[in-house]
Structure 1
Amino acid sequence: MRYETTRAAATQPSLTLRGRAQPLLTLELADLPETALETALQERLSRSAGFFRHAPVLLDLTALPAAAAARLPGMIEAVRRTGLVPAAFQARWPEIERAALAAGLGRMLEAEPGQDLAAPCTRRSALIIGEPVRSGQTIYAAEADLIVLHSVSPGAQLLADGCIHVYGALRGSASAGLGDDTQARIFAKIMDPERLAIAGLWLGAEEIPPEWLKRPAQLRISEGWLRFSPLP
């Protein structure tokens, strides 16, 4: 009987841990009172029309002084009340790290020694979408560029670890460079989006200069800022 139990247990599927990087928003917390932090974050997120609701985030706590450790649980709860889901953290001071671990956050894993984070990742062939992208649809090109041959409706979401190309009107949201690829770009034949993002930097519709709306344009990161330019 003992042998049969052991044998049955041995046939159970095992758990698998993978080291593959996943897209994760980073939120840098300033040393603000809990109420002020929540108000500022709510104001910022109100421009995204619920895009970030329930999104897991990495809390960058490196700007917090060690003395802020006692207030950190309240700050984390303030972030949760905005609809974000704090999942992991980075910290500078041991006091902040201990407080974050006690609050249930995971420590962000560091790269293994010798790992070249600057080396370009190996990407798959581009994901090509040959029909219009409807409102409510979300399309993610993992480790690849995303090419849409038609238009993208309001309320649709395009996500890609690489670049995003839209050969019609881009009226939904587009997030390129999800793996922190600052070289990624967004191209659109008609640039009229609800939201744009590259490698964690983003713009709401109201922040896009009018001169770049409803015309062929591309978006890239230059000197730490999102910048528009015409298509060649």
Structure 2
Amino acid sequence: MAANMDYEQAGELKFGQVGIANLRIRRLDLDKLEAEMAERVRRAPRLFARAAVILDFGGLSPCPDTATTRELIQALRRAGVLPVALAYGTREVEALAEAVELPLLAKFRAQYERSDQAGGETPATVSPPAGAAAAASAPPPEARAAPAPRAQAGLLHLQPVRSGQQVYAQDRDLTVCATVGAGAEVIADGSIHVYGALRGRALAGASGLASARIFCREFHAELVAVAGHYKVLEEIPRELVGKAVQIRLENEKLLIEQLD
């Protein structure tokens, strides 16, 4: 008989929602980018020191060359963070990711395609099949009212969210009926409600919804963000710490307001 085979896996691979900072490069000034990131690390080392960062070149035209991108990666490492991937964007970005040996994060693919579609371009991935255009131009045999969209219930989390844990509400609001501990993370594509102390991180509007808000009964958050705009605890007025607050965006500025 053949020798016994070891079928047990040496490594178990799972995929999940990962909260990684997205650094959108607006101007390719390596010295300024390094200085800005070093200042973020200095102000909040518990949050940003050796943090994983995705490089997003969607705001640049043209795409940086390989040598410049490698210099940028080294500059950010000197500043104290760790670039781990490029955000999906164009074919040039895809080629650049291969050249610098970094992965592309598919998580950002849908966001780029939605923005392209809003600008009038139709992504190739949603091109209609042959003959569909002719069928679309013909009048329907019977006019039917579109069904009303069904509202998706929010995610209700009843247990404390402890250090190292993450709760993600995809395409909906998140309500936590307990404490969010230091080192924990709550994320929602909609709004976040915390009926306890918020000591970790809360990221609302994770898919870009600027109207999302964060509400909490006792505010001690390490970091709060709405649609990517964030503040860390060191930037928050001391008189708001420990209070019931709401966090919202107004004119792309993050506002933290005490609740009555």
Q: TM-score, normalised by structure 2?
A: 0.64
> Where do 5+ consecutive residues of structure 2 fail to align?
1-16, 120-148
How many Å separate the matches in 2 of 1:99 and 1:114?
20
Q: What letter corresponds to residue 37 of structure 1 in structure 2?
A: L
Is the 8 Å Cα contact of residues 56 and 86 (structure 1) preserved in structure 2?
yes
Say which structure, 1 or 2, has more relative contact order (CA 8 Å, 6+ apart).
Answer: 1
User: Displacement, 1:38?
Assistant: 3.3
How many Å separate the matches in 1 of 2:45 and 2:211?
23
Is the 8 Å Cα contact of residues 217 and 245 (structure 2) preserved in structure 1?
yes
Q: What letter corresponds to residue 85 of structure 2 in structure 1?
A: P
User: Displacement, 1:103?
Assistant: 2.5
Is the 8 Å Cα contact of residues 148 and 165 (structure 1) preserved in structure 2?
yes
Identity of aligned residues (%): 34
1:78 aligns with 2:80: no
User: Displacement, 1:223?
Assistant: 0.2
Aligned to 1:111: 113
User: Displacement, 1:159?
Assistant: 1.3
How many Å separate the matches in 2 of 1:192 and 1:180?
24
Q: What letter corresponds to residue 86 of structure 1 in structure 2?
A: A
1:193 aligns with 2:221: yes
> Where do 5+ consecutive residues of structure 1 fail to align?
1-20
Structure 1's 214 and 44: CA in aligned 2 closer, same or farther, altered over 3 A?
A: same
1:88 aligns with 2:87: yes
Aligned to 1:12: none
Report the count of equivalent residues: 205
Structure 1's 181 and 122: CA in aligned 2 closer, same or farther, altered over 3 A?
A: farther
Structure 1's 90 and 230: CA in aligned 2 closer, same or farther, altered over 3 A?
A: same
User: Displacement, 1:202?
Assistant: 0.9
Aligned to 1:182: 210
How many Å separate the matches in 2 of 1:142 and 1:126?
9
The root-mean-square deviation of aligned C-alpha atoms, in Å, is 3.7
Structure 1's 45 and 90: CA in aligned 2 closer, same or farther, altered over 3 A?
A: farther
How many Å separate the matches in 2 of 1:156 and 1:211?
23
1:26 corresponds, among 22, 29, 52, to 22
How many Å separate the matches in 1 of 2:184 and 2:196?
14
SS at match of 1:140: strand
SS at match of 1:165: strand
User: Displacement, 1:166?
Assistant: 0.7
Structure 1's 112 and 37: CA in aligned 2 closer, same or farther, altered over 3 A?
A: closer
Q: TM-score, normalised by structure 1?
A: 0.70
Aligned to 1:219: 247
Q: Which protein has the larger Cα radius of gyration, Structure 1 or Structure 2? A: 2
